[in-house]
Structure 1
Amino acid sequence: MNKTSTESQRALLNELTQAQRERLSYIDFKLYFLGELRRADVVDRFGIGPAAATRDIAQYKEIAPENLILDNVDKIYRLTDCFVPLFEHSPRRVLTSLSHGFGEVVGDALKSMVRCEFPTELSQPKMSVLAPLTRAIYRGRAVKLIYTSVESGRIEREIVPIALVNIGIRWHVRAFDRRRKEFRDFVITRMENPTVLENCSVGENEKVENDLQWNRIIELELVPHPNHPRPEMVEMDYAMSDGVLRVKVRAANVGYMLRMSMVDCSPDHSLEGLEFALCLRDPLALYGANNARLAPGYRDPRPDVQRGPVKAW
């Protein structure tokens, strides 16, 4: 597809309503990742009539005529050999849709579009705990709750949550801790009876704009581990450019990300084992990140900093 065609398609899409673009994106998704589309797919997904679904498919074909062809025998639209996606599909959203559905059903009756298997998630938050937290984040409110920690045991706290964070093995909340007067991470499964404080004002120092660790973005260069027997395989796994994977991550989350991905952050890249496929080219990039000690092998260059495990982990 040439540049002129792409610009023409973009102009036509911009003339559509948001609802129309969503339906055309679904048509594009079904063709691209499943190879076929039935009119009933659009009807069932969006709750519209057959005539409206036919118009949507006709609209899609007008914009991208070479993307689909009607199989008159089975009455199915099929992907063509010259298909070019009309929309940019996020890998994360695509994998979520393929594994959990594209919103066709509600509740726990989610069905995968293709056979998928997931490792068992051992830690999941209760919805009765999660819902007040998300309301507080969305509306900029504080929350009172009971929290159990390694340091303090089970006590009542007031926090101002600013974001949810998934670190792979569990979810936590980034929040201002009114007891400690600082931003910290709180594990959702350790919370009890959260209550949104509707009539309690939030101070400027408690807002996300003043969380230095959250707002600091660290640029990392990850490279194949020098002891890996097949560095070219690592480059393929991570779609590296010139043998380097460049990522940007918040300082508040960098230690979690490096630990979850098993990135060797030791000064001399000395950690052993095939699980360490990646290493951090310059460990000094983590300087000043509060949870850098979570990163495998990381040693803080400051002589006065105590070394050891981070209790919150």
Structure 2
Amino acid sequence: MIKTEPRRRYWLIELIACWEGRVTSTHLQQFFGLSRQQASKDINRYLQEQPGNLAYCASRKGHLPTPAFKPAFISDDVAEYLNWMTGQRAHAMPVEPGYRLEHAILASPPRNVAPKVICPLVHAMRQNHRLEVDYGAVSKPDRDGRIIVPIRFVNTGRRWHLRAWCEKAQGYRDFVLSRFHGEPGLEGLQQTPLPPDTAWDTQVSLILKPDPRLSAAQQEALAYDYDMVNGELHLPTRAALAQYLLNEMQVSVKMLDGNPAAQQLILANHEEMKEWLF
């Protein structure tokens, strides 16, 4: 087994404690391949070095963050936890300083997502529970209560969403994590099987082309840039994610930008995709 520096284990201890509300030696055993004895030693060593952050709870058989919890190894951005949990960032763990290459990353401002929101969502997702949530959408900022069944977290490129069955809308909806208010309340087990999530289960392919208003040389440059085949870029995706992918590619389907150099790409199969777009 490759030895791992204690700070990496401390990172995981804080990450799980903060966003799931409870950490045990089993977490360290599973992730690092440690013995139970070694995992327990790591947690005890963390408790000594970061006193007051965690407290053992006998009824829950694990260490819980205290009201004074102040992380020393993680950020307060929920994306750090979700990237690790969903495996979207293989090197979310701290990297050896000598192993790094010089680089820069454009960082978007973190969204306002609190552990008290994430913990119930994670619990409900794993236990098939219903939740009562207070959610405020941009289209309806006055907020409204609703009962949902969380299904999965979705990274749309710019932010994290929760895909869930909404009892009020009687359909699957995407909820921006930073728009939940307060703490979701458990409403018991899901009583009946949910209907199929057609938009999620349907596979589609977006066909992008250079804006025809561009010169032949400009179109050729874009075709080369995106490694297009016969002047087309085919992007397979789930129908539920089609609009998010277009947004990420900065492809407008409502109106062409007056400047074709700004528009650059167009959706060639708009009619075929129309039913899946917002």
Q: Scaled by the length of structure 1, what TM-score is found?
A: 0.52
Please state whether the residue corresponding to 1:163 is helix, strand or coil.
strand
CA contact (8 A) 2:148 2:164 kept: yes
Instruction: Check if 1:200 corresponds to 2:186.
Output: no
Contact 1:220 1:285 in 2 (8 A): no
Change over 3 Å in CA distance of 1:217–1:158 after alignment to 2: same
Aligned to 2:263: 276
Q: Does 1:285 align with 2:272?
A: yes
Residue 167 (structure 2) pairs with residue 178 (structure 1)? yes
Deviation per CA, 1:151-193: give whole Å up to 9, x if none: 3723322111112222233221111111222211211111123
CA contact (8 A) 1:136 1:196 kept: no
Distance 1:102 1:156, change over 3 A: closer
- Residue 102 of structure 1 deviates from its aligned partner by 6.0
Cα distance change on mapping 1:137 and 1:130 into 2, 3 Å = same
Segments of structure 2 that go 5 or more residues without pairing to the other structure are 3-31, 35-85
Counterpart in 2 of 1:156? 145
Aligned with 2:109 (options 122, 128, 135) = 122
User: 1:1-313 alignment to 2 at 5 Å?
Assistant: 96=89, 101=91, 103-104=93-94, 113-124=100-111, 125-149=113-137, 150-151=139-140, 153-195=142-184, 197=186, 199-205=188-194, 210-229=196-215, 230-265=218-253, 272-289=259-276, 292-293=277-278
Question: How far has the Cα of 1:261 moved from its partner?
Answer: 0.9
Shift of 1:94: 12
Partners of 1:148 and 1:264 in 2: how far apart?
Answer: 26
Displacement of 1:212 in angstroms is: 1.7
Q: Deviations over 1:209-260 (max 9, x none)?
A: x122222222221122213342222223222223221112222221121122
8 Å CA contact retained: 2:134, 2:184:
no
Which sits farther off after the overlay, 116-125 or 278-287? 116-125
Q: CA RMSD in A?
A: 3.6
Matched-pair contact (CA < 8 Å) for 2:154–2:162: yes
Higher RCO by CA contacts (8 Å cutoff, separation 6 or greater): 2
1:47: Cα distance to partner?
A: 9.2
Counterpart of 2:29 in structure 1 is none
Aligned length: 195
Structure 1 residue matching 2:143: 3-state secondary structure: strand
CA contact (8 A) 2:117 2:184 kept: no
1:196–1:139 CA distance, 2 compared to 1 (3 A): farther
Structure 1 residue 199, shift from structure 2 partner: 3.3
**Residue 74 of structure 2: aligned partner:** none
Which whole-Å CA distance do the structure 2 matches of 1:111 and 1:141 have between them? 45
For residue 274 of structure 1, give the secondary structure of its aligned residue in structure 2.
helix
Other-structure match for 2:71: none
Q: Give the distance between the partners of 2:250 and 2:141, measured in 1 at CA.
A: 30
CA drift of 1:264 comes to 4.3
Contact 1:221-1:245 at 8 Å conserved across structures: yes
Identical amino acids, percent of aligned pairs: 25
The 8 Å contact of residues 166 and 172 in structure 1, kept in 2 or not, is answered as yes
Q: Counterpart of 1:158 in 2: which secondary structure?
A: strand
Alpha-carbon shift at residue 95 of structure 1 (Å):
9.9
For structure 1, the 5+ residue unaligned runs are 1-18, 21-45, 49-92, 294-313
SS of residue in 2 equivalent to 1:223: strand
The one-letter code of the counterpart of 2:247 is R
Normalization by structure 2: what TM-score? 0.58
What amino acid is the match of 1:228?
Answer: L
1:146–1:244 CA distance, 2 compared to 1 (3 A): same
Q: Is the 1:220–1:247 Cα contact (8 Å) retained in structure 2?
A: yes
